[in-house]
Amino acid sequence: MSAADATSTKSPAVSVIIPARNEENSLAVCLHSVLEQRDVEFEVIVVDDASTDRTGEIARSFPGVRVLESTPLQPGFTGKCNALACGAAQAHGRWLLFTDADTVHLPGSLAASLREAQEYQAALLSYSPAQEVHGFWEKAVMPVVFAELAHTYRTEDVNDAGSPGAAANGQYLLITREAYERVGGHAAVIRSLLEDVDLARKVKQSGQKIRFRFGGDRVRARMYRSFAQLREGWTKNLALLFESPLRLALFRGAEVILIAGGAALAVVAAVRHEPPLAVAGAVVAAAVYSQFLRRIRSAHFAWDANLLALLGLPVFVSLLLASQLSHKRGSVTWKGRTYGAASHNGRSALDVRTSNPASQARGGDAAAPGRI
């Protein structure tokens, strides 16, 4: 069995809920991959989050897909949470799959993820998708970011019921309706810019089991399609993802200096026929780079992206600093919306403005979607 008939009175096993704000470049591929799922009854709901492009039109062109308009945002609410809450309120499934419009779901992944959640008795199952990267900047920067995420949100800690560690990736988050409602759903994290992690934390704190892992065998995603998008997206998120962005920037900046400085010292010393200095510089650069490469390889990117990641390391440092500064100033932007203040783990997002009159006319007057 596949997608449930829109007129059916039978409750589907899963409600697939896709929040979409200006996603005309990726939504069709996402919906094709979802609708081709088999061996499980499901419904598909797209929540149009005040899009100003063809997102709504594309969603409505797929038979059986329910398209909802996101309700007007209240001051301090984040757009993605608001859209997800709207979708969940209209969903009929016993399980809810929240997934982003830029994801592609591999054949059989929905049924397999449901079996996996049941096998591990997880109330919440989340995958970190395989990340598609194209072009120099995506290949250079994305492995650095995801290597840090893998180090910070270790799956063995997240999956350990005795550990307080919690994490989820909003690109693929499957949760039982019972667990979702028990913790208050997205209404409980409606002011968060890091709603996936905060929701996972609430589920784990409620005593329910969560499971989180790299899910390249189930789903893939391309988060950004230009350096401008990449810079804006990570500027929005990095300060919230890491406990001490400034300390991390200091450590990674030192890493850049040691690798580049050691290599430069080795070259200069060799030219000047000073073997001891040349060897010392080469040893320092090689040792630090070896540790860096070992960390990068944990992020599951192809070899060419792993090699380019060294050039992405100083960019990552600059993005960390820019993110910290933007949140401190209350000037974080994403998809035409500006946040007056960051929101994560209980802090409010205030004074949110929109720079797009068209979205304002459709009710988009506060906040914006957040994602890892």
Q: pLDDT tens across 293-320, in order?
A: 999 999 999 999 999 999 999 999 999 9
Q: Is it the case that residue 352 has pLDDT exceeding 70?
A: no
How much of the chain exceeds pLDDT 90, in percent? 80
Mean pLDDT value across residues 31-49: 97
Q: Is it the case that residue 140 has pLDDT exceeding 60?
A: yes
Among candidate residues 371, 69, 87, the one with its CA nearest the CA of residue 230: 371
Place of tokens 């998008």: 229
CA distance 369 to 48: 12
Q: What pLDDT score does 339 carry?
A: 60
Question: Mean pLDDT, the chain, as a whole number?
Answer: 89
The confidence band for 329, taking pLDDT boundaries of 50, 70 and 90, is confident
Q: What pLDDT score does 371 carry?
A: 46
Mean pLDDT value across residues 155-180: 96
Among candidate residues 30, 22, 19, the one with its CA nearest the CA of residue 222: 30
CA distance 283 to 285: 6
CA dihedral 112, 114, 118, 121 (to 10 degrees): 110
Q: What pLDDT score does 4 carry?
A: 53
Mean pLDDT value across residues 339-351: 45
Retrieve residue 51's tokens.
């899009």
Q: What pLDDT score does 193 carry?
A: 84
8 Å CB contact between 30 and 18: yes
Q: How far is CA 174 from the centre of its chain?
A: 14
Q: Is it the case that residue 13 has pLDDT exceeding 90?
A: yes
Retrieve residue 88's tokens.
């969940």
Summarize pLDDT for 253-275 with one digit per residue, the tens. Answer: 999 999 999 999 999 999 999 99
8 Å CB contact between 33 and 105: yes
Q: Domains, the chain, ranges and CATH?
A: 14-134+154-225 (3.90.550.10)
Q: Is it the case that residue 44 has pLDDT exceeding 60?
A: yes
More confident residue, 371 or 227: 227
CA distance 41 to 197: 28
The confidence band for 200, taking pLDDT boundaries of 50, 70 and 90, is very high
Q: Is it the case that residue 9 has pLDDT exceeding 90?
A: no
Q: What pLDDT score does 358 carry?
A: 35
H helical segments located in the chain:
27-35, 55-60, 79-90, 109-119, 136-152, 155-158, 177-182, 195-205, 227-241, 245-271, 275-297, 303-329, 357-361
Q: What pLDDT score does 340 carry?
A: 60
Mean pLDDT value across residues 220-242: 94
Q: What pLDDT score does 3 carry?
A: 61
Interstrand relation of 210-214 and 219-221 (parallel, antiparallel or unpaired): unpaired
Instruction: Output the CA–CA distances (angstroms, integers) from residue 247 to 244, 250, 261, 320, 357, in the order listed.
Output: 5, 5, 21, 10, 39
Mean pLDDT value across residues 341-346: 44
Retrieve residue 33's tokens.
């991959």
Q: Which residues contact 340 (CB under 8 A, 6 or more apart)?
A: 330, 349, 350, 351, 352, 353
Place of tokens 């081709």: 36
Among candidate residues 370, 362, 356, 276, the one with its CA nearest the CA of residue 327: 370
Summarize pLDDT for 70-110 with one digit per residue, the tens. Answer: 998 887 788 899 999 999 999 999 999 999 999 999 999 99
CA distance 199 to 196: 5
Mean pLDDT value across residues 133-140: 96
Interstrand relation of 210-214 and 124-128 (parallel, antiparallel or unpaired): parallel
Interstrand relation of 124-128 and 172-176 (parallel, antiparallel or unpaired): antiparallel
More confident residue, 4 or 244: 244
Q: Is it the case that residue 343 has pLDDT exceeding 70?
A: no
Q: What pLDDT score does 78 carry?
A: 84
Residue 248: how many other CB atoms lie within 10 Å: 20
